[in-house]
């Protein structure tokens, strides 16, 4: 089975940088996803890491350490529209994604 | 029309009603999923269909009955629901090949059981 842990809530200031951490325990690890979900909307794909290291996509970056069972999502130059829930999800073998509870990020002026 | 669509977007039903949720994907994917999202809980996987065959059923009560008539359509038939079944029901699809299982979600159906 899998266990995905991430903080429940975070607050950060507009223009700043925020890091959202995710730890996982899983056998047959096959990759880690980050999704963004605005209130009342569907989750949308942000990133997928299967190898160790940092993947950068514009203002968003995602990092994975397989040996530590650890990932983070880094958001730079925060904007008000980045206020949302960020879902960490793990892929194990050929089983479907297992999602964490999500981290609700509030960006304040 | 592109992506994953779901109807209806909102549904209010009594405990004795029968209703169905519909999902359609226009991405040519070969797998479809139903998830339940309740407040302050993680997304809960309910059903998975791969190549139109059900491959997973996570101990979901029988009052929820899925149907996948073809690779583009997925239904969730609802019967004799309970108030605790009130939640956002999300449909997703993916193309299962290699190591990529990125899922594309529909907008969801907000269900309220009275």
| Interface mutation target, options B6, B42, B45, B56, chain A, most CBs of A under 10 Å | B42
Q: Which two tokens stand for residue B30?
A: 């070969």
Residue A80: phi, psi to the nearest 5?
A: -55, -35
pLDDT computed for residue A106 by the predictor: 97
Kindly list the averaged pLDDT for each block of 10 residues, start to end, along chain B of length 114. 88 92 95 89 87 75 93 95 95 77 89 94
Look at residue A61 in the predicted model and tell me its pLDDT.
96
CA distance A80 to A78: 7
Q: Is it the case that residue A31 has pLDDT exceeding 60?
A: yes
Closest CA–CA distance from residue A77 to any residue of chain B (Å): 26
- The DSSP annotation for chain A comes to -EEEE--SEEEEETT--EEEEEEEEESSEEEEEEEEE-TTS--EEEEEE-SSEEEEETTEEEEEETTTTEEEEEE-S--GGG-EEEEEEEEETTSPPEE---EEEEEE-
What's the pLDDT tens digit per position in A80-94? 999 999 999 988 776
Q: Given the DSSP bridges, would you call strands B109-113 and B104-105 parallel, antiparallel or unpaired?
A: unpaired
Coil/strand/helix, residue B33:
strand
Q: Do B101 and A41 touch (CB under 8 A)?
A: no
Query: Among A40, A48, A102, whose Cβ lies nearest the Cβ of B42?
Result: A102
Please say whether the beta carbons of A26 and A2 come within 8 A: yes
The CA distances from residue A6 to A70, A88, B46, B79, in Å, are: 10, 7, 22, 35
Q: Do B103 and A30 touch (CB under 8 A)?
A: no
Q: Give pLDDT, residue B98.
A: 58
Predicted pLDDT of residue B34: 94
Q: How far is B69 from chain A (nearest CA, A)?
A: 21
- Cβ distance A90 to A4 under 8 Å? yes
Residues 6+ apart with CB under 8 A from B113: B12, B13, B14, B15, B81, B82, B83, B84, B85, B86
pLDDT for res B95: 87
Residues on chain B touching A33 (C-beta within 8 angstroms): 102
CA dist A1 and A56 (Å) reads 29
Picking from A27, A26, A18, A33, the residue whose alpha carbon sits closest to that of residue A71 is A33
CB–CB contact A45 B103 (8 Å)? yes
Decide if B102 and A41 are in contact by the 8 Å CB cutoff. Answer: no
Angle at A36 between CA A31 and CA A41, to 5 degrees: 130
- A63-75 pLDDT per residue, tens: 999 999 999 999 9
Residue B26, pLDDT score: 94
């Amino acid at each position: 089975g899998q266990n995905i842990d991430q903080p429940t809530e975070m607050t950060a200031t507009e223009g700043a940088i925020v890091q959202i951490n995710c730890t996982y325990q899983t056998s047959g690890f096959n990759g880690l996803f980050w999704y963004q979900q605005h209130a009342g909307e569907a989750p949308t794909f942000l990133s997928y890491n299967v190898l160790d290291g940092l993947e950068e996509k514009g203002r968003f970056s995602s990092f994975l350490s397989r040996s530590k069972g650890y990932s983070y999502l880094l958001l730079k130059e925060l904007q008000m529209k980045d206020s949302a829930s960020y879902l960490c999800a793990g892929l194990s073998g050929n089983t479907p994604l297992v999602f964490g509870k999500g981290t609700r990020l509030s960006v304040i002026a | 029309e592109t992506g994953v669509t779901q109807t209806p977007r909102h549904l209010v039903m009594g405990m004795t009603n029968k209703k169905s949720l519909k999902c359609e994907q226009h991405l040519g994917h070969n797998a479809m999923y139903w998830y339940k999202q309740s407040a302050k809980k993680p997304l809960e996987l309910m059903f998975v269909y791969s190549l139109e065959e059900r491959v997973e059923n996570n101990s979901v009560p029988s009052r929820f009955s899925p149907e996948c008539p073809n690779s583009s359509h997925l239904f969730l038939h609802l019967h004799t629901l309970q108030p605790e079944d009130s939640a956002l029901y999300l449909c997703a699809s993916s193309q299962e090949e290699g190591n990529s299982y990125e899922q594309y979600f529909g907008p969801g159906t907000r269900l309220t059981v009275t």
